[in-house]
Amino acid sequence: MLTVTEQILFVLLTVISLYLAYINFGRMFRIINRGDGDLQYRQLPNRLITGIIALFNQGRILRDRPVTSLFHYAVAWGFIFYIIVNVVDVLEGYIAGFHFLGDTVAGGVYRLLADVLSVGVIMGIIYLIVRRFLAASPSLRIRDDVKVMPEAVRGIPKDSWIVGGFIFLHVGFRFIGESFLVAHHGTDHWQPFANSVANLWHAFALSPDTIVLGWHISWWIALGLILIFIPYFPYSKHAHIFMGPLNFMVSPQGVSIGKMEPVDLEDEDAEQFGVSRLSDLHKKEILDAFACIMCNRCQDACPAYITGKELSPSALEINKRYYTRKNMKSLGNGGEDSQPLLEYAISEEAVWACTTCGACVDICPVANHPMMDILKIRQYQTLMESQFPSELKNTFQNLERNYTPWAFSHSDRVKWAEGLDVPTVRDNPDFEYLYWVGCAGSYDNRYKKVSRAFVVLLKKAGINFAILGEEEKCNGDTARRLGNEYLAQMMMTENAGTLNGYNVKKILTTCPHCFHIFGNEYQDFGGKYEVIHHTYILMDLVKSGKLNVTEEQKKKITYHDSCHLGRHNNVYESPRNVIQSIGGGEYVEMQRSRDKGLCCGAGGGRMWMEEKVGKSINIERTEEALSLNPDVIGTACPFCMTMMSDGVKAKEKSEVVVVKDVAELLLEAVEANINV
């Protein structure tokens, strides 16, 4: 128990600490509240559960870097448990003879957990410090060509030392203090580690007064460090311990990670569209910066960064964080936020390097969405500054004039179907499914074969479907991902009107980008449909026996996951099931597959931009596929087919490896040698 003087002093220091924390935390939350929109607190009980789960599972960090993740779990769980431990220690300092839960089994279990977790935290923090500073893990480094604030370059190692030192000393001295307490009372078999250290004190023949003094000193260092650190929390990356779970709680739930929210273009009071400065971002996107643990997992997963581009999603969040840290007092007190994000947070080249694959969002253990920041910066650059890559000028013009990103005549949109007797909605007004062909399926010479193959399969199975024909126009995805929200909304509104006019309920599509935007974003423009990717219906048709495999394909096949089908919408099994239903061959997975699949490089409008920096993303992905020596690279997306085909050609493997859509593979197995 503390002396009366110590008790009074601790109360005074606690009041000072909490007062300073109140000021700093207040600034942090006022900075977040400067953002646009609202944090989603609806369904609070469910969201609290989400936050608690995120707190304990640490954002499923075990999916990546398993050894490091296990040590991080030890630190995190120990630190969480120390909330109870610290309260108990304070009570022991103020209440004479206080012994939490007494000598009961429950009390013993508590002391055992505190003992084991203390050692776990100490071991974990030593590992993490060694990994960062002595081993200098490459995954914790950001390349020199990526924009990083000087304050972050200097601040990250300093903050890491402060955080690591605080945890090590806080837990270490509390553990030592407990060993003195055990030595004072004699022994405690519920605390094997503290008991072992207590035996050392006995072996050193420390006097009872020395042991009591050791406990007092350890108690003050352990709990005094908390009082010092609490006001520093808002400035430290260690804030992720509570901002991470909060970020999960306020994130949109039950929606695709790639869903873009509409911009109110008719708002007469709006001074700008898109994002230029930190305070233009949504509140949740500012919170992202405070939640960021700076682990660089997003960077390791980013196809642009992997292939040498200037884009690092981690650097974006870190720069936002250090900008708020540098200007905490000013921004928190309502000062002007005048510096554009492009000046300190991200380079213009990096903004346009993003493929919107969603890998950074999916892998993040604290629910950050750097991809959305980038898309909103694109909106500002396109709508407000007319600053975008020069090749996109033709893309936008084609969308406006021809209703497709390509320079093809709209009147040629249905030529792909010649000779197949494909019904339009006017020919077959009682259709069950509308087949949305898409721009690639209508105009791209290679992908027109996929459209034809899919139609043949639908007819074989007796599916009642129709197409829009010349009434079909681009879905707006390309314009939207490139920041041209005005053009995108015009297309989406018009298409929704057309679809609703024909009372469309179910949409079939071979394009994951069509699948995503119709299923997730058209609802904001009056279009609510059941959207079915062609791999889904083909899988069902095979299972139901409406399509019978008669010709086994003795080929070695690997499959490339489309980002907009996989990570954005969790469609992983249906394309694989279709391929495996063929039988007779060998199916092999690439190392980076499913939710860890690597982008082909064409998403986010990159299909219509030149890749001028670093290694081509499609070459990186093609090399991974070719390393398996497949006969066929399977795809389920027109963009992926183009990029993988180009990659195979560039690697001079076209004579031995072919790229085919799952519909083509199935059609070959259903009826060999058919020509579509």
Q: Is residue 240 pLDDT above 60, yes or no? A: yes
How far apart, in Å, do the first and last CA atoms of the chain sit?
86
Q: Are residues 102 and 245 in the same domain?
A: yes
Residue 260 lies in a domain: no
Residues 294 and 232 grouped into a single domain: no
Same domain, 293 and 193: no
Mean pLDDT of the chain: 95
Question: Are 168 and 213 contained in the same domain?
Answer: yes
Token pair, residue 524, equals: 């904001």
How many domains are there within the chain? 4
Q: Are 419 and 380 members of one domain? A: no
Are 595 and 633 in the same domain?
A: yes
Report yes or no on 246 lying in a domain.
yes
**Which pLDDT does position 640 carry in this prediction?**
98
Find the helix or strand (DSSP H, E) in which 658 lies. Answer: strand 658-661
The answer to whether 562 and 637 have CB atoms below 8 angstroms apart is yes
**What's residue 676's pLDDT?**
55
Residue-level length of the chain = 676
Residue 263 lies in a domain: no
pLDDT band at 236 (very low <50, low <70, confident <90, very high): very high
Instruction: State whether 170 and 229 are in the same domain.
Output: yes
What's the rounded Cα separation, in Å, for the pair 140 and 72?
A: 15
Task: Mark whether 587 and 652 lie in a shared domain.
Answer: yes
pLDDT of residue 673: 46
Residue-wise pLDDT for 382-415, tens only, equals 999 999 999 999 999 999 999 999 989 989 999 9
Among 49-53, 333-337, 362-366, which stretch is predicted with the lowest mean pLDDT? 49-53
536-548 pLDDT tens trace: 999 999 999 999 9
Paired tokens of 91 = 């009570």
Determine the average pLDDT of the residues in 58-74: 91
Calpha distance 568→371 (Å, rounded): 12
Domain assignment present for residue 509? The answer is: yes
Query: By the 8 A CB rule, do 636 and 662 touch?
Result: yes
- Position 63 confidence tier, pLDDT thresholds 50, 70, 90: confident
> Residues 330, 199: one domain?
no
Instruction: Clarify whether residues 246 and 311 are in a common domain.
Output: no
Domain endpoint, select from 478, 507, 536: 536
Angle between helix axes 638-650 and 445-460 (nearest 10 degrees) is 130
Range of the domain at 609: 542-670
Would you say residue 675 has pLDDT above 60? no
From 357, 384, 411, the end of a domain falls on 384
220 lies in a domain?
yes
State the CATH number of the domain containing residue 468.
3.40.50
Q: Based on the number of CB atoms within 10 Å of its own CB, is 386 exposed (0-12), middle (13-18) or buried (19 or more)?
A: exposed
For residues 127 and 41, state if they share a domain: yes
Dihedrals phi, psi of 423, to nearest 5 degrees: -75, 140
Domain assignment present for 487: yes
In the prediction, which pLDDT does 186 show? 87
pLDDT over threshold 80, residue 672: no
CATH of the domain at 359: 1.10.1060.10
Q: What is the pLDDT of residue 113?
A: 97
Q: Is residue 266 part of a domain?
A: no
Element (H, E) at 661: strand 658-661
DSSP 66: H
**pLDDT class for 583, splitting at 50, 70, 90?**
confident
451 with 441: CB under 8 angstroms?
A: yes
Is residue 44 scored above 80 in pLDDT? Answer: no
Q: Is 71 in the same domain as 188?
A: yes
Q: State the Cα–Cα distance between residues 360 and 614, nearest whole angstrom.
A: 19
Residue 15 has pLDDT above 60, yes or no: yes
pLDDT for 47:
83
**Both structure tokens of 7:** 């008790």
Q: Is 261 a member of any domain?
A: no
pLDDT digits (tens, 9 = 90+) for 114-156: 999 999 999 999 999 999 999 999 999 999 999 999 999 999 9
| Tens digit of each residue's pLDDT (9 = 90 or more) over 162-216 | 999 999 999 999 999 999 999 998 889 999 999 999 999 999 989 999 999 999 9
Residue 512 pLDDT greater than 80, yes or no: yes
